[in-house]
Copies of this chain bind each other. A is one copy, B any other.
Amino acid sequence: MAEMAESAGKGSLEGVDLLVGMATTRAIRRYTDARVTDEQLQQIMFSATRAPTGSNRQPGRFVVLRDGDVATEAKQLIARSAQAFWAQKRAADGYDAGSGADENSPKARMARTMTAFVEGFASVPVVILPCLVRYREPTPSEGASIYPACQNLLLAARALGLGGVLTHWHGGVEDELRALLAIPDGAAIAATIALGHPAGAHGPVRRRPLAEVVFEGAWGASPPWAQDPPDARFTSAGPPK
C-alpha cells in the first residue's frame, strides 16, 4: 500500500478507515492551543482539492488564516460577526427557554459551547475561507463545486486527529474581510471553517433515523433496507428542543 499512501500525499501516516471516518467526524468547536503544522495543512488542503467540481473547472480557492497580524485581524473581525450571529440565534431559537433553564440539558450545554466558541473565535488555531470563483450568475446549485471540498477538508482533519466545523460567520463582516484579504469581487466566500486540535471528547454523531430521509422509487417511500446500525445515535432535526 506504499504506492496508494503516496497517492494520498500521506507518507507513512497511520490510517483511519474511510467508512469509520465518515461516521465519526462531527463538529469540533473547542481546541487546544497546539499549533496546526504546515504538514497538516498541506495534507488537509491536498485532500480538499481532490473533491469533484462541475466539468472539473475547479473554481475553489482557499484562504488559510493562521498566524500574523492580518490573520489575527481577520479572525477578530469574524469573531465579532460570530458573536452577533450567536446572540441572535440564541434568542430566535429559544436556547434559554424551556429545558434551556436546566444547566444540565443538552440545550444549555450547547449554548455554553457556542458562547465559548464565539467569544474565543479570535484564538481559533486555523480559520479557512473556501471561496468560489464565479463564472456565471449565482445559483443554489453552485455549492456542488465547493462544499464537497469542504467535506473532504473536515474528513482530512479527522484523519490527522484534528477537528473543525463549517460556519457562515463571515456573513456579518464580509466587506471588511474582503478588503483586508484582497478577495476579488468575482469570488464568493462560501464558508468560514474553524480547525484545531480537539479539546475534550468528541461524542457520537447524532442524526435523524435513516427511514425518515431515505426513499426508494418515490418521495416518502421508505425502503426496508433504510435501517440504521444497532448503535446509531439519533436526534430530531434542528437546534435542541
Contacts and interface: CB of A to CB of B under 8 A. Distances in A.
Interface string A142-154: 1110111011101
B158 A144 contact: no
16 contacts: A6-B231, A7-B229, A8-B19, A9-B19, A15-B18, A22-B51, A23-B47, A46-B232, A61-B215, A63-B216, A63-B217, A70-B217, A143-B144, A144-B166, A146-B147, A147-B148
A17 B8 contact: yes
Given A18-B16, A45-B214, A68-B217, A208 B147 contact: no
Listed residue (A70, A93, A141) with the most chain B CB atoms within 10 angstroms of its CB: A141
A111 interface: no
Nearest to A150: B148
B159 A237 contact: no
A182 B218 CA distance: 6
Range for the number of chain A residues in contact with chain B: 35 or more
A189 to B, nearest CB: 9
A23 B50 contact: yes
Given A8-B20, A219-B183, A62 B213 contact: yes
Contacts of A10: 17, 19-20
